[in-house]
Structure 1
Amino acid sequence: MPRYALLIEYDGTPFAGWQAQADQPSVQGAIEAALARLDPGYAQGARIAAAGRTDAGVHATGQVAHAELAKEWDPFRLSEALNWHLKPAPVAILAAARVADDFHARFSAVERRYLFRLVARRAPVTHDRGRVWQVLNPLDIGAMREGAAHLIGLHDFTTFRSTMCQSNSPVKTLDEIRIDQVAIPKGHEYRFHLRARSFLHNQVRSIVGTLERVGAGSWAPDRIADALEARDRAACGPVCPPQGLYLSGVGYPIDPFEAGSA
């Protein structure tokens, strides 16, 4: 059966997360319902696999999944057909690509990239409501960058790991944390870019929530190193809410969506 990679964007607000659930709406369920209009296998319960399972309320601009179909499709026609059947759900197939039979959206990935958007201003957000985390007071970006530097590299991230995490090991390599500051009307947006081969459950939200405490002046930057060394969930700062988090990209040895990559 031909296998296709799908590049996916979605607003996670109305969903209980990526993963299909019997009694709640999910992004996976929406895409599989669209596929069921095109392919008999999905009408009978076939499943797609994704690079990462985002939680309820988390968004994506670069999620990747793969699907096996009963017949060959022109990738452009496949993405157009899926987008038609996805309406009105806030899910879009940005691109589709024919891939090798051994391509796996999750297991073939060599890196994942997340963006977290944090807005600091007194007035409520309007256009970005449900898509950013808002705090009222400005943050010290220099202090947050200093604190974030302690997290780069290979570490035991038990402190920044949900107690519900199912990963076999808390040891991960965090390749990058970049924090940018953008002026907005009467405030600032802070954008946290994190990159790693894989992440623990709630790792990004735990890190950003803790760095916000540094930026607010409640934590000294060096306390991040102490929290990491503690290897104790109780040493973590607050876990920030999901609405500011985006799965922004997934890296593969060969980009399946790059022209001529096959």
Structure 2
Amino acid sequence: MRNIRCVIEYDGTEFFGFQRQQGRRTVQGVLEEALASLTGRATHVTGAGRTDAGVHALGQVVNFRTDSRIPVERWPYALNSRLPRDVVVKRADVVPEDFHARKSALAKTYRYTIWNAEFPSVFHDRYAWHVRTRLDVAAMREAARLLVGRRDFAAFRAAGSTPVRSTVRHLQALEVERAGPRIDIVATADGFLYHMMRNIVGTLVMVGDGRRPPEWVADVLASGRRELAGPTAPARGLCLVLVEYG
């Protein structure tokens, strides 16, 4: 029995998230269906990130165990021939028995894209949040710097979400970059709370559009109160870019 790791990308628009849900189209669901078609056996797939409905991935990592004799280098071709067009397996390798796509991860990088222009873009609408008001990227960067480090991100966790052991996370980097109308907010952390990235983005946008000063973000962080932070940014702008392992 081999433990196979795959790196996949997907357009999350037509999915109800990664995790299998009864009667709904999910990334895990279509992967497991493709594996069953290929091997003739039910196979459980584990993902590094349980992305929400509408969230995309360029570097999602999954693993599964199989006794199939398909050479590891052929797995992407075999699976892609059975997957829908909005999911692609980019590469595969054999990993140790104790490898777990989520529990073995050391860090994840997410990118959030904002289309900051008077009008939305037909070609970016599925992958970006359209914000009409001109955003001050310098102010957003100043605010972002206040969030970097090992901190308690309770204020940026979705209200009413499942309790977790700790709301402390190490946010290793939080960058804000503009290229014309496109603004990318890229974050790397050892873990993310539910909606943490989208709530950080909504908070930074409130700084960028002038409703709040950059230093306000430090007060929100210290408060631990979700209601004091900005709104949750729409799912479509978020993309899981990279998962890092030792």
Q: Report the equivalent of 2:46.
A: 49
Given candidates 181, 187, 193, the residue that maps to 1:200 is 193
In 1, are the aligned partners of 2:5 and 2:95 still within 8 Å (CA)? yes
1:235 aligned to which of 203, 228, 236: 228
Corresponding residue for residue 259 of structure 1 = none
| Other structure's SS at 2:81 match | helix
The verdict on how the C-alpha distance between 1:41 and 1:167 changes in structure 2, with shifts beyond 3 A counting, is farther
Alignment of 1:167 onto 2:160: no
Q: Select 2:64's aligned residue among 57, 62, 67.
A: 67
Conserved 8 A contact 2:5-2:63: yes
After superposition, the C-alpha distances for 1:216-259 in whole angstroms (9 at most, x for unaligned) are 00010000000001111111111110000000000001xxxxxx
Q: Give the aligned CA root-mean-square deviation in angstroms.
A: 1.0
Whether the 8 Å contact between 2:115 and 2:124 is mirrored in structure 1 is no
- 1:120-135 aligned at under 5 Å gives the runs 120-135=116-131
TM-score, with normalisation over the residues of structure 1?
0.91
Offset of residue 121 of structure 1: 0.5
Is the CA contact 1:41–1:70 (under 8 Å) kept in the aligned structure 2?
A: no
1:213 counterpart (190, 206, 212)? 206
Structure 2: distance between partners of 1:73 and 1:106: 24
Equivalences for 1:57-136 in 2 at 5 Å? 57-88=54-85, 90-136=86-132
Q: Would the aligned equivalents of 2:157 and 2:194 in 1 still touch at CA under 8 Å?
A: yes
Post-superposition Cα deviations, 1:162-187, rounded to whole Å, max 9, x if no partner, equal 1214432111111000111101xxxx
Decide whether aligned partners of structure 1 residues 165 and 176 sit closer, same or farther in structure 2, where only a CA change above 3 A counts. Answer: farther
1:180 maps to a residue whose letter is E
Distance in 2 separating the partners of 1:26 and 1:166: 24
Q: Following TM superposition, by how much is the alpha carbon of 1:73 offset from its aligned partner in structure 2, in angstroms?
A: 2.4
Verify: 1:150 aligned to 2:143, yes or no.
no
TM-score, normalised to structure 2's length? Answer: 0.97
Unpaired runs of at least 5, structure 2: none
